[in-house]
Structure 1
């Protein structure tokens, strides 16, 4: 959506926008109690701020008990201003103009993160997100397939969407990702078959693959090790 908003005046997250977002989550008969000066910010668990042409993430620090934050379809260029939201479990930053993964260090409870349709060119700065289970970073500018290896740090990652990135055109893309992230259950909206695990190699060869872009299987001459597996073995 962000690419279609270039001619729209960007907004900031101000008191008026936040109050409207809170009121939308409250029953109609409670709205009279939702005067800005009386709001218990710690009681607010969810905020929906999508489609607001927001340029900069700001003024969210009072909502320290938020568990779900929706900031999709804006014109955000940088991940910032989230440091105090340490209870976030779900964060949607899809369809923005973000170029770098950053500013997430304190979100240690995060389980679901979407950066779909942004401008990210490298997977990085996610070391503290050890609770992350679902990560969508499809339709970005990821070109180096080996960068996927970074995600091995996220031991609880089970669902990953990388579709629409330039490196997905690599002929061995699927096999490479599955081999290096053996705990994945879903890749690009498809269930990974257990039989795919048979296409992985020994730990020593996996370590070698981190130094080389392509593994060679000694018993098959110069053919890549994954050539013994067909694409039909990967998904069901």
Structure 2
């Protein structure tokens, strides 16, 4: 699959959850060649999913270059897996700040991971996180993130991952 429009020919697996009945809570589009999330919301509506019920999205191992604001359509999102894509700008994480229930985020395997102070900058921007890149956030991580946040964590300048030499 290279675009969300490709989902028009796909059918979701049958699934029933004890607490939500037939309401699906997760979206898994990992291991594809998706480079844009244009069409994601219509694809979800096609299978009658309510955005408010979605708590977990896996778009790992795709070709996304930015963090799309479409994620704000999922107010109860608690887990977002974006590892192994092509995201390069730390400031893209700012787009996720309104997601107050977001607790787990993965970005490792993206060029952004090589940005100076990557982990602490992400935590400064998203202090609600409990796990980043499959690692628990420590008290030390939080302390450094708070210090960086007080210093602005590079918000005034564009932060892009520079290739390692």
Q: CA deviation at 1:95?
A: 0.2
Q: Name the counterpart of 1:56.
A: 6
CA RMSD, aligned part only?
A: 3.1
Q: Name the counterpart of 1:196.
A: 141
Question: Contact 1:101/1:123 (CA < 8 Å) preserved in 2?
Answer: no
Q: TM-score, normalised by structure 2?
A: 0.72
Cα 1:101–1:181 shift into 2, 3 Å: same
2:114 counterpart of 1:114: no
| Distance (Å, rounded) in 1 between the aligned partners of 2:120 and 2:110 | 16
Question: Contact 2:125/2:149 (CA < 8 Å) preserved in 1?
Answer: no
Question: Which of structures 1 and 2 has the larger relative contact order (alpha carbons within 8 angstroms, sep 6+)?
Answer: 2
Deviations 1:192-228 (Å, cap 9, x if unpaired)? 112322221497754x8533347xxxxxxxxxxxxxx
Unaligned runs of 5+ in 2: 43-49, 160-165
Unaligned runs of 5+ in 1: 4-54, 69-85, 215-236
| Distance (Å, rounded) in 2 between the aligned partners of 1:194 and 1:67 | 38
Question: Contact 1:104/1:126 (CA < 8 Å) preserved in 2?
Answer: no
Q: Name the counterpart of 2:23.
A: 87
| Distance (Å, rounded) in 2 between the aligned partners of 1:96 and 1:190 | 25
| Distance (Å, rounded) in 2 between the aligned partners of 1:152 and 1:131 | 13
Question: Contact 1:161/1:189 (CA < 8 Å) preserved in 2?
Answer: yes
User: How many residues end up aligned between the 2 structures?
Assistant: 142
Deviations 1:150-199 (Å, cap 9, x if unpaired)? 11121100011101001111121111111111111111010011232222
| Distance (Å, rounded) in 1 between the aligned partners of 2:93 and 2:104 | 13
1:166 to 111, 115, 121: 111
Cα 1:60–1:95 shift into 2, 3 Å: closer
Question: Contact 2:124/2:148 (CA < 8 Å) preserved in 1?
Answer: no
| Distance (Å, rounded) in 1 between the aligned partners of 2:92 and 2:129 | 16
